[in-house]
Structure 1
Amino acid sequence: MLTYTVLTDPAPLEASAAGRPSTGTVYLVVTNTGQQAAYWSTIEVKVPVGSGVGDLTSEFNKIKPKGEHNGTQPVNVQPQGSNAFQATAPGGTARFAPGDYMVLTLENVTVAPTAGLAMLKVTEKASRAKTKTGNPASSSAAVALVKTAPKELPAPRDFHPDKAMVDAGEKLTLRWQGSAGFHYKITYPGAPQPVPVSGGSWSPPDAPKRATTYILIATDPNKQQHFLTTTVQVRNPVLETLTATTGIDTPWVGGPNGGDGAVAFSQGGVKVWSTRGSNDPGILHAGEATVSGVATEYVKGLNSGDGDITFLQGGVKVWSTRGSNDPGILHAGEATVSGVATGEIVADRITVNRVNTERVQGKSTRDGWITFPYGGIQVSCGAYYDTPRLGYVFAQTICLNQSFSGEEENRWIDLSDGGEVSVKHRGKDGTTTYGSLRVSRVDTDFRRW
């Protein structure tokens, strides 16, 4: 007596896929297309339950039923057993006039995983009698609905940063488009393991310090993975190491921290500055340096109090320490110079062409010393600044030479003749004779030869 039509949302229903359940709503629209009113008592809807082609759902207990007559009057709908719902008329029997309608709604239907045609079996109890006491007749009808195959999820796409170029330490956000049916993770250098993400956007916990590639891993319900990559460039990168095979062209190199030194590459050379943007020369530290020339104001030791060498016009000076006017000491294994004018030299060996000096003395302050008065030399002993005393000359032979008309005569004092002093003379003819010793003055301080 009544007419039944099925509508679904979505239309058509999509079968569930593995790991991706599909849910929808089934609307059973009941109308009276006859010329007379009908009186109905119950309408039963039997749902095919299972996972097959002709089944609507395998989770019958999750369906939420409800009913409504002419859009305003609620209708009582209750489950019947494990596979049916029954609508019952108010008061046991209700008038269904021509043109009236009733909607029985099945919400939260989890669609079976196999595509196909599912049939709802409807059994009504109704009568054409004009009174409510008429005996209703039972009749059935089949109403079909379609389940389509599940659509393949579209692969995620458009993985990109909100800024293609950032400064070191600047925050950024990565975005992508993709179905919520995927599980997403992002991996990047420095991350111990992929980071689970969702919602189509994610910000790294630490801003990148150098060019960094991020990889989006999207896994569909069938465990198939999709990979998308994007790279963020850093305007002023911080690198742990840098290897250049063909060279580096740059106007300057500076330390990573404020106040660090900088090396600038000027025309034909380099300059070391105390800090970037400063005109103050910096300090160059090296274990060893090999150069063809060094132009500098001074050279000093590493420690406080170390000696200092300054470079004057036409020469150098050795000071005991930087900023002092006290002459320092020059230590050398061997020194070859053309002249020594002042200062102090300590060396194992010195080879010079000429030495101009006030005196020559042994290493100890008690050693004898030689001064150079006008026209000769003087051998002295005692402290230099005390009243000088004549010192000793130790020698086996003292030889004095005289030349006469190109021919030479020799006179010498020989101290090796049995402990005695001999004065000897060698004439022009080569014969040696004993000579004489003439003393004009005896100095009491002169004890022995």
Structure 2
Amino acid sequence: MPSLLHYEILADPSTLQASADGMPSVATLYLIASNSHQAPVQWESIDVDVRADSGASGLTDDRPQVVASIEPTYLRSFDERPEFDWDKTLQAYRAQSPAPAGRPMTLLGGEALILKLENVPVSRGAGLVQIRIEETSWGGDGSLAYRSAPYRSVLGVVKQIPKVPANFRAERSLLDVDAGQKVLLKWDGPSNLAYWIRHPDGTEEFITGPGTGPVTLDSYSWSTDAPKRGTTYTLIAGTRDGATAQHGYFLTTTVHALIPAFDHGTRSPWVEGTTDRGRVTFTPDGLRVDDTQHALGTVTAKAAVLREVSAHTGAIDTLTAKSVTAEAVTADTVTAKGVTADSAAIDTVTAKSVSADTVTTDALAAKTVTADSATIDRVAADAATIGTATIDTVIAKDVSSDTVTTGAVRGRAADAGRIEFPASGVNVYKNGSQEWGTLAADKADLNGINTKWVQGRSSSDGWIEFPPAGLRVLRDGGQEPGIIGAHQADLDILRTGEARVTGEARIKGLLTAGGGMKLYHEGERLLVTMPDRIVFTAVNEFRRWVTFDRGISVAFGSGTASITQEGGMIVRGGNLQVQQGTLSVSTGNPPNVRQL
């Protein structure tokens, strides 16, 4: 006879992967016991027998690691939560009532129990694992009576080994070719596939064909001479029909040479030493040699043939060159694309770029000026970066300076914004007028802010104003009260028209509701207080005494039953019955009891 409850099993992952060396597999099983009847089913126990061994039909060989739990889909307020755990006597997992065990539990129609086995270390070997279930239950739509013999069911889950290769890797990714080290590639894969190695030039080398017998997960390796430079190898897995190969799976791994050798050259923006960090940078004109501080370095050679010479010191009347690099330059006129010097005393400099620690000149026309110190009558440049400058006139696209002393700063246009520097700090104006302007910044670090109101960037954002009583939070850029979001609020007094709590509200003191109270649970109204009564719309369950000082009245249909001190017990419009008991009347003192 089939069991009263219907069982289904789900696994995560849906198909269990058998464990292998270095590749443990952990899974979760969900056993769903559902009541498909309209009527409730009473159940005493549900036993789940999971074979625990290391064979192909065993689920796990490490049962103590498994975590069992149960989750009913629905519990009434007076229902107890069942338990699901390992039973040493039965050698199975048992679901039952909490202590004392053996008491019947109720599963309503359409509801279910979810029995979970988590953190299951899956054993080795591919195969079908049987899950045997024994259920002691009664009831249902047929109102079946209790019977001692349990109902039995069998379910199953499948364990598989990987069907594709994995873990393709090199034993060493960095090889010393000069020391004779070799490439050793390893991978894991099923024994029913053939394997090839594809070299960087596209040629393929056959490694091994598919094995015979049951499919197993095996480890493979292949070795060859180390390459001269970084090389990528491709593992190909598939089938082989005679001389015809059918490729199905591809994996790649890369190895590198400790000292790479290139047959056709290489490209790099710069090259730097490892221990001595000198650097050679490739420029559009050739190359630049720097020392470890990235300043101009020294080239040492037995012989050099150069088209351009840079000297440490030069005293020159006129110098015309594409580039001038020197520790000191003293010249009447320098015309160059680039001038780099520690010190330069020049009457006229015309250059695309000037970089110097000190520049002393009457006129300087350059696209870029970079100097620690400059004494110049006139500077015309797109960009000027100067630590200290004494300049009569500056015409530049960009000026970068350590210190600027000025009364005001304004944009180029006549109606641009302006900044003034009074003794109290900084004033910002807009439109070339004395009207207060706007300061935009990512962050502002201030000791204090005095403002009438604060608003988001958009005119429709919320805003805060500061009346004498405190602050007001408004929304949508208007006068409608807004919302404050906070993790906690510490208030002495809370005045509100409505309070909504989405989580849990805990009140340590008294709760006083002056205007009445409504209590709901999941949208269903439980009670409403009125000036002269409390209206209950839910079932009232009292597990202790209930005392009514003035009496109690119950109305049902056209009848009533009341118990009061003035009128005693009165039943109107109905019958008074006493079932399986005695109705007695006592009078006098001592009382004279008569049974009716």
Query: TM-score, normalized by length of structure 2?
Result: 0.31
Question: Which of the pair has more CA radius of gyration?
Answer: 1
The structure in which a higher percent of residues are strand is 2
Query: TM-score, normalized by length of structure 1?
Result: 0.40
